[in-house]
Structure 1
Amino acid sequence: MPRILHVSQPVDGGVARVVTELAAAQAAAGMDVHVACPAEGPLPRALGAAGRGVRGHPWAASRSPGPGLRTEVAELHRVIDAVRPTLVHAHSAKAGLAARLALRGRVPTVFQPHAWSFEAVGGSTALLARFWERRAARWTDRVVCVSEAEWITGRRAGIPGSYVVVPNGVDVDRFSPGAARQARDRLLPTAFARAPLVVCVGRLCRQKGQDVLLRAWTSVAARVPGARLVLVGDGPDAGRLRAGAEASVTFAGAARETADWYRAADVVVLPSRWEGMALAPLEAMACGRPVVVTDVNGARESLPSAGRAHGLVPPEDPAALARALVALLRDAELRDALGRRGRRHVLDHHDARRTADAIDVVYRELLGAAPTKYRECTTT
């Protein structure tokens, strides 16, 4: 039985959800699964939930590289020595940095960027990040990309190695269609029961582009009487975004369960500046809701090709974003059609069990172990 150690920092957002679902699926399939991550945040809380069968190991680490890196690497080295894994799977740039420095090729190592770090920065910092990824390739047995665009970006940046594309998946039983009215009754004031409602789920930060959405919202609110926008999430930009928001915008804060927010929405939007492959659009489509995303790497691939004309807008373009939202808010029949199409797309291509099977193939190739068969999706 393989002993897998996942290493993750961050402990929130989409990365945390991917690690949680993957680790739980692997544990349910009989693997000996461990996760090293900081002790505070949604990820360790989720892993501590009853019945998951995943053993957590506190690892004190900041989100970004800094002067404490040497100590963080040494502490992770101690965790690795205690767990004695047969394979290490590092998630996102910081965990990938620390894990590969601690391991230096001692055991098979999988690195999953969840969007390359050099896409989030510029200048000398981006050059340094590219240099590190090229050097770290010698300690990386497999790079797992969540989209074709992420794979292309890595190759164009000159990062060598063995790549595989495994698209993100979501729990299609947990994220499933439901009655919008009941969801709104649970989450929102009665006055919102019939309001045209747009929901954005994501960390409040520059990457997710909520500032662009708020600029677009002025036009949407003027053209769709009574329309409401709800931002679900928290993050470093929360204060600045709140300060410039209109009265028709609600900040709901972080939510452990987001399925009802998707069900309550008429349209779900995520105007990202960059992505690996965001979970929010996939979760929304699994709930049968139409989505609008920006035409950036990792986001366009989340949409079914037949729905991109209605759901894809240029990045950093509030006017185009407003037009797309207004068009969908005014056309209930189109929303329903896109929602059905999106649900089918997720069932066919982004079921989390498919993702777990694909990752199992990667592990099997590296370890020579027999494949694990995950439960097939029976949802229709």
Structure 2
Amino acid sequence: MHPAGLAVTRFSNCVGFKAGRDHMPDGVDMTRVRLVVPNFKRRLSGVTSTIIQLVPFQTGLDVATLGPGLPDTLPKIRWWQVRALLRQPHGGGRRVWHARRNPEMLGGVVLRHVLRAPLALVFTSASQRKHTGWTKFLIRRMDAVIATSRKTAAYLEVPNTVVMHGIDTARFVPPTDKGEAAAAVGLNPAQRYVGCFGRIRHQKGTDLFVDTMIALLPKHPGWTALIAGRTTAEHVGFEKELRERIARAGLTDRIRFVGEHRDIENWYRALSLYIAPQRWEGFGLTPLEAMASGAPVVAADVGAFSELVVPGVTGEIVPAGDLAAMTVQAERYLGDPALVASQAEAAVDHVARHFPLEREARQLAEIYARFGVAERSA
């Protein structure tokens, strides 16, 4: 089932939907909402993706989202309903307002401290850099702070709890046959594929992936490289330069830009190796998605990657921005099918054991329970 359809199924009895056209939710019963997940950024981002994937696993908490940029398959508080946040939910007590960016923290602070809304404020930080004075001001007004990794926690100056992101292990699964998986997305089943997925830009290290493949593919004719993701207007020139670089190397047919896909899980299943070359990352879900789909990962030491990939077991970690190290490690896999196979199996098991979304949702529920917001019994 498509993730959107899955979300509808999971939410059908969540917080009192009023079904509108095509059975999309037309609002929620505000007396029942106990967990508010705001999203004030319209453009798709890692935070937005986290919300879209996680909220369907939080239905027992009577959850609802607020803001643009989220699909209507999620339970939504409409703007005209926001005033209901100034009143207690049915049964009394407080709601939890779970922010993941500064604007959402500010919204919670205004609601509680200016408008006197009965809210407990929770913030998740994925940043791995020194916080500004403004961010510190907002964080100090939170009732609970969550870090997405140990590295992130080190940048926080307040008590915090580490809750690492997970992924939907029912969506990202290994194929029974890589060739069939490749054919399913229109690729040559006789080739093996190495991928780099995400927004195409310098920060994401797309150029490092391209340069690695230019160095290696001529020596490994059985492999083709795939770059999947969106290029925003300000990075069109960056992509154009990469395409020209690939053309000069005579590899246009073997380093392919395949665009952005809603069914990205199908493209992951076609991969035998994944490269995560980012120069900077907050957390980064793509290594988990790749490993769950049966591909070992060579990842730069940014974000939470060193806490996701087990070196020598599910992939390798290389210094950020180190093209030579990335090329050396990638070549080990391109030249050793047995290594790929053994680590692919270990990667699937590793993610299933340690990073299912259910685990993240359960750990968050334990934090919400501190403020009287508990899961409904089944």
Aligned mate of 1:185, from 183, 186, 208: 183
Residue type of the alignment partner of 1:292:
V
Q: By how many angstroms is 1:372 displaced?
A: 5.5
> Take 2:377 and 2:277, find their aligned partners in 1: how far apart are those partners?
36
Aligned mate of 1:88, from 82, 97, 103: 97
- Structure 2 residue 24 is matched with structure 1 residue 24: no
Q: By how many angstroms is 1:19 displaced?
A: 0.7
- Structure 2 residue 211 is matched with structure 1 residue 211: no
CA deviation vs aligned residue, 1:108-162 (integer Å, no higher than 9, x gap): 111112335xx4xxxxxx7xx52112211232111111111111122xxxx32x3
- Structure 2 residue 375 is matched with structure 1 residue 368: no
Q: Which moved more, 1:239-248 or 1:274-283?
A: 239-248
> Take 2:258 and 2:40, find their aligned partners in 1: how far apart are those partners?
24
> Take 1:57 and 1:211, find their aligned partners in 2: how far apart are those partners?
42
CA deviation vs aligned residue, 1:69-114 (integer Å, no higher than 9, x gap): xxxxxxxxx7643445711111234433554455448521111123
Residue 249 of structure 1: aligned partner: 255
Q: By how many angstroms is 1:225 displaced?
A: 2.4
Aligned mate of 1:173, from 165, 170, 174: 170
Contact residue 267 and residue 289 of structure 1 kept, 8 A: yes
Contact residue 202 and residue 238 of structure 2 kept, 8 A: no
Identify, as 1 or 2, the structure richer in helix. 1
Q: Secondary structure of the residue that 1:144 maps to in structure 2?
A: strand
> Take 1:92 and 1:225, find their aligned partners in 2: how far apart are those partners?
45
> Take 1:372 and 1:199, find their aligned partners in 2: how far apart are those partners?
41
> Take 2:352 and 2:199, find their aligned partners in 1: how far apart are those partners?
25
Q: Secondary structure of the residue that 2:324 maps to in structure 1?
A: helix
Residue 134 of structure 2: aligned partner: 132
> Take 1:275 and 1:22, find their aligned partners in 2: how far apart are those partners?
20
Q: Secondary structure of the residue that 2:203 maps to in structure 1?
A: helix
Residue 341 of structure 1: aligned partner: 346
Contact residue 294 and residue 314 of structure 1 kept, 8 A: yes
Contact residue 9 and residue 91 of structure 1 kept, 8 A: no
Task: State which structure, 1 or 2, has the greater radius of gyration over its C-alpha atoms.
Answer: 2
Identical-residue share of aligned pairs (%): 25
Q: 1:93 to 1:316 in 2, by over 3 A?
A: farther
CA deviation vs aligned residue, 1:176-196 (integer Å, no higher than 9, x gap): 11132122112234xx32223
Contact residue 175 and residue 286 of structure 1 kept, 8 A: yes
> Take 2:279 and 2:78, find their aligned partners in 1: how far apart are those partners?
33
> Take 1:221 and 1:261, find their aligned partners in 2: how far apart are those partners?
20
RMSD: 2.5
Contact residue 276 and residue 299 of structure 1 kept, 8 A: no
Q: By how many angstroms is 1:199 displaced?
A: 1.0
> Take 2:328 and 2:377, find their aligned partners in 1: how far apart are those partners?
45
Q: 1:173 to 1:198 in 2, by over 3 A?
A: same
Aligned mate of 1:33, from 63, 70, 79: 63
Q: By how many angstroms is 1:206 displaced?
A: 3.4
Contact residue 54 and residue 361 of structure 2 kept, 8 A: yes
Contact residue 242 and residue 251 of structure 1 kept, 8 A: no
> Take 2:271 and 2:368, find their aligned partners in 1: how far apart are those partners?
38
Residue 122 of structure 1: aligned partner: none
Q: By how many angstroms is 1:290 displaced?
A: 0.7
Aligned mate of 1:111, from 114, 123, 141: 123
Q: Which ranges in structure 2 are unaligned for 5 or more consecutive residues? A: 1-31, 90-94, 247-251
Contact residue 111 and residue 143 of structure 1 kept, 8 A: yes
> Take 2:311 and 2:213, find their aligned partners in 1: how far apart are those partners?
26
- Structure 2 residue 235 is matched with structure 1 residue 230: no
Q: Which ranges in structure 1 are unaligned for 5 or more consecutive residues? A: 59-77, 120-125, 375-380
| TM-score, normalising length: structure 2 | 0.78
Aligned pairs for 1:32-111 (under 5 A) are: 32-39=62-69, 44-45=70-71, 48-49=72-73, 54-57=75-78, 80-84=82-86, 86-101=95-110, 103-104=112-113, 106=117, 107-111=119-123
Residue type of the alignment partner of 2:199:
R
> Matched residue pairs, number?
325
Q: By how many angstroms is 1:300 displaced?
A: 0.7
Contact residue 15 and residue 114 of structure 1 kept, 8 A: no
Contact residue 174 and residue 294 of structure 2 kept, 8 A: yes
CA deviation vs aligned residue, 1:202-256 (integer Å, no higher than 9, x gap): 1223332112222222212233225322111113334412332311322222211
Contact residue 172 and residue 286 of structure 1 kept, 8 A: yes
Contact residue 208 and residue 323 of structure 2 kept, 8 A: yes
* Runs of 4+ with deviation above 3 angstroms: 82-85, 92-106, 369-374
> Take 1:306 and 1:214, find their aligned partners in 2: how far apart are those partners?
24
